Chains A and B, each alone.
Chain A
Amino acid sequence: MRSPFSLHRRRARLRFHRKKRGTRLSGSRSLASVGELFLFTACLTVGAVAMGLIVYWFVLPQWRVNRHFVRTNCQVIRHPGMKKTTGKDASLWQPTITYRYRANGSTYIGRNYDLLDSRYPSRNKAEAIKDSFKLGQQYPCWYDPLDPGTSVLFSGNPLAYWLLLIPVAFLAIGFGGLGYTLWQFTTSRERRAALAQQAAGRELFDEDQDETKLPAIPRIEGVSGSPGTTLAYRLPIAARMGWQLFAIAIGTACWNAVVALFVFLGIRRVLAGEADWILLVALLPFLIAGIWLIVHLTRLFWKMSGIGPTRIEICSHPVRPGETYKLLFVQTGNMLLDSLNVKLECEEESVFQQGTNSITASRVVCRQDVFEGVNISVDAGQPFEHHHTLMIPASAMHSFISPHNRISWRLSVTARVNKRAGYHRDFPLIVIPGKIESDTHSGASA
């Protein structure tokens, strides 16, 4: 007799690849984690080494200047000057100031403006420092009580502390990345998902939240928030032809503006008697393309000028499998429709990585004719209106959304317009599972 228990053991293994997609293999998550581990360890190491060096070379000496150096007065004994150091790419300027001071009963000669021996790419800045010291004048200076020969004229250089930001950034990336990678290594995927829910504010078993009542179903408010004029809801349109026209118009304007600029420059040189024929010949194809864009835009605008918006209203939303709904189809504009088709469609959509590409695959799994008409006249003063009944198939899968997968329902409108371009418009529908008790999502019925 077969045991009611399923007996199974599956060990976690280091897999070198995931799914095989065509002739390519997706990368392994484990190997990616190992790569991340190396990367963040390297960041941590670089950050730690840089931190040690910067602290040893810059921060500690500057800290000693601020905390332990003794203040005294000094006298500038030579005309302050400038020293120029020429490197491969740029020159650096350094003020040279020689001063005399007394410490522990002895006289010392100092030449350091600051402890970092700063040089400046800006000559003006170096000159400003030089000009702030005059020969024979007295100024404060600071010397090291342990080594009175070491002194500076400027004790407040903050550069040493700013330098700390570089290793701190590396250390933050290294620590954060390592922590995240180790967390991924040591935590199961299920636990991470549960923690992510908590972090997102979705408590498991929290019955009061809408998202918990219908998890993995697209948010309904965005679709149902638009009331209709005759029926309860007006379905939003998924894509507007106007946006396509707008994008082409913007592209045409940008293209022709750039071409016009070069044409202007070319003509100005011709008028000045310095004609650049190479430029003018090179501009010719760009000019032709610009003219073609204008013609294309004008034709598109003319074709679409009489096509008004399409409106679909429904008596209740979201919808449920096996139920029927009143539907109102409205087409405005001024045109003759050779044919008009309204279909109910369900489409599966998947997103996956193939190499560095993100591919979206889609497949229609349900298509049902809702309304079909021919030779429909639409006048500006009298839009075409058609009342119909929409039946959602009883076996329909509900709408679904997750980060890489989606099942979406829509009313798809396709029209062929007499002597003009046809159009295709989609109106998303949200289908929720049937037989839900204590459901608060259903819209008001008209």
Chain B
Amino acid sequence: MTKESAICIRLISDSDHFDLGDTLSGEFFVDTEDPGSIRAVEISVLWYTEGKGEEDLDVHFFKRIGNDNGDFVDMRQSQGFSTALPTSPLSYDGVIVKIHWCVRIRVFLKGGRDFSSERSFWLGRVPRGQAVEAQQDCSADDAEQQH
């Protein structure tokens, strides 16, 4: 029985917290018995939103390593990546808007399927957002408007 492939990601840092402008470095490898089955790997450093709204996503760093262009890269070997983190947006755990940063590795197999793994980190040190109690002078709190 062959075991399932998995992605291992490591961030080279003492903690998961980074300040704006810091350099994020890390490495990953794919734990697989058949490295030839990997067609391509995409490395992304990205942020995405979570919460009540639709999810938004933007990529800060993107790199694609293809095994389909003649150059075989053994993904069982550790592959490094490094990027200078941007000044915004900072990680944020709000009430209805949350912003998460992560390193996401996506592996594409030759059969057309893909799987991914991600390692979250925290950019900046913004404390958690908390809802303000509704007051008389502001009717916008917790408002929902239909369009």
Contact = CB atoms under 8 A, between A and B. Distances in A.
B65 interface: no
Contact of B137 (A3, A349, A403, A414): A414
Given A214-B87, A363-B95, A365-B129, A9 B137 contact: no
Contacts of B52: 350, 352, 361
A60 to B, nearest CB: 41
B142 A433 contact: no
B106 A188 contact: yes
Contacts, number: 212
A367 B135 contact: yes
B143 to A, nearest CB: 5
B36 interface: no
Interface string A406-446: 11000010100000000000000000110111000000000
Nearest to A422: B137
B89 A400 contact: yes
Interface string A287-320: 0000000000000000000000000000000000
B10 A197 contact: no
Interface in A169-220: 188-191, 193-194, 197, 204-205, 212-217
Contacts of A189: 57
B10 A193 contact: no
A193 B88 contact: no
A348 interface: yes
A402 B20 contact: no
B40 to A, nearest CB: 10
A88 interface: no
A206 to B, nearest CB: 12
Contacts of A214: 87-88
Given A367-B132, A397-B129, A405-B56, 11 more contacts: A3-B8, A7-B7, A197-B58, A197-B59, A215-B89, A343-B137, A361-B142, A403-B54, A412-B138, A414-B138, A435-B20
Pick from B31, B87, B95 the residue with the most CB of A within 10 Å.
B87
A212 B59 CA distance: 11
A130 to B, nearest CB: 58
Contacts of B47: 216
A11 B115 contact: yes
Interface in A342-369: 343, 345, 347-353, 357-367
Contact of A190 (B42, B90, B96): B42
B70 interface: no
Given A197-B59, A360-B144, A365 B10 contact: no
Contact of A404 (B5, B10, B56, B62): B56
A12 B114 CA distance: 6
A37 to B, nearest CB: 15
A6 interface: yes
A365 B94 contact: yes
Given A351-B54, A364-B131, A405-B49, A8 B7 contact: yes
Interface in B9-42: 9-10, 19-21, 28-29, 31, 42
A364 B134 CA distance: 9
11 contacts: A5-B8, A190-B57, A190-B62, A216-B58, A341-B137, A348-B51, A350-B97, A361-B143, A366-B132, A398-B88, A402-B49
A414 B140 CA distance: 13
A436 B19 CA distance: 10
A364 B141 contact: yes
A137 interface: no
